[in-house]
Amino acid sequence: MSNNSEPSDETKRRWHQDPNNWFLGFFYFNREDKRIFPPKRIAWMGWTINFANPISVITLLIFLLLVFTMVNLK
């Protein structure tokens, strides 16, 4: 797999099922996975953040900052 190619569905499934990619069972941390929002451990429950991807963490911080700002405007 080259750096520019999209990983196969099989690779994504393997990453998702690997318990070493789940910190405390629900924090997804996989440096190889470039997705910002991979599916949660129980996929039908939505998506989670890949905490190994800096863009994901920045997105989460911006979202939390917006929520905090809106709450404090009242």
pLDDT band, very low/low/confident/very high, at 3 (cuts 50, 70, 90): low
pLDDT digits (tens, 9 = 90+) for 19-55: 999 999 889 999 999 999 999 988 789 999 999 999 9
The whole-chain average pLDDT of the chain stands at 90
**What are the strands, taking DSSP E only, across 1-74?**
22-23, 27-28
Q: Is residue 38 part of a domain?
A: yes
Reduced to 3 states (helix: H, G, I; strand: E, B; else coil), residue 24 is coil
Q: Are 23 and 29 in contact (CB under 8 A)?
A: yes
Residue 33 lies in a domain: yes
Contact between 32 and 20 (Cβ < 8 Å)? no
| Residue 27 domain boundaries | 19-45
Is 73 part of any domain?
Answer: no
In a domain, 61, yes or no: no
In this prediction, residues 12-19 reach a mean pLDDT of 92
Domain presence at residue 37: yes
Residue 1 located in a structural domain = no
Q: What confidence category does residue 5 fall into, taking pLDDT thresholds of 50, 70 and 90?
A: confident
pTM to 2 decimal places: 0.77
Q: How many domains does the chain have?
A: 1
Contact assessment for residue 51 and residue 27, using Cβ atoms and an 8 Å cutoff: yes
